[in-house]
Structure 1
Amino acid sequence: MQRTNFGEMACSIARTLDVIGEPWSPLILRDVFVGLDRFEQIQADLGISRKVLTERLNHLVEHDVLERRPYDRRPRYEYVLTERGTELVDLLMVMIAWGDKWLAGEAGPPVLYRHHACGEISHVDLRCAHCGEPMHAGDVDVLPGPGSAP
């Protein structure tokens, strides 16, 4: 089956999905973010097939989301988030906040996040980069941008 190429669409959501829209990719990024940076660690944590994990890691390296670094003389690598990958983790933090709010149930969130700057347990809060006010779907108008489709 031919996979749709979302990267060619004039839509930032579609282009982002082209990089991380496959279900294993965000989980691989999460694992690398929390320190599981070797193939065997990621494979054991996710229970993913070696073939699929190899494909996903290659895809993420190709798109400059992860960097592959050798860690011994054999061809073994650890994976490190690039600048792009680190910014994608910010996107995952928004997904975490949504999942914690709507899907955690009575048990509560499975993981807590302590903010380095203040030392408090918190979650992300979307804010306008210009004025600092909260910025959510109901607070914006969608306008055509310079890269919009004709």
Structure 2
Amino acid sequence: MGRKQTTIDQLENDFEIEQDQVYARSLGPRGNHQHEVEFIDGEKKLVTLPPRFRNVVWLKRGHYVIVDPTVGVSEKVAGEIVHVLFPKNIKDLKDKGKWPEEFSVPKTESTDLPKSLNEDSDEEDQDDLFVNNNRPVMSDTDSSSEEDDE
């Protein structure tokens, strides 16, 4: 199976989850083509990314995958990634009613905070915009003081 065919299979073809396969959320890469995933029940384990997906599908933190726990079972590796789910796949699964409810509810840290802290955080978020530290920021007062020096 070539690189082009693997990409087409991942993006376009419909798939069916088999009996032993389970849904999981990626928690991030751990090196040597291994990724830490969280299963529906909250259990965290290492799984491996097979060679047919390497350099074809980029698996990032927060992506959803289908894992086959019967393949490649060892002390450290709990299974193999069979399919990487894209937003189109997730939408189709939700429409069919096959998407697990545990992954439908977004985990937010702000729900754990008291209401008074949540209200203040909205105002602070507007002040915490991304600042590029690689470029110096010239304000109007800086440019006018340089002109006065000349």
Report the TM-score range of the alignment, normalised by the length of the smaller protein: under 0.3
Q: What is the TM-score when the length of structure 1 is the normalising length? A: 0.28
Larger radius of gyration: 2
Q: Normalized per residue, which structure has more strand?
A: 2
Q: Normalized per residue, which structure has more helix?
A: 1
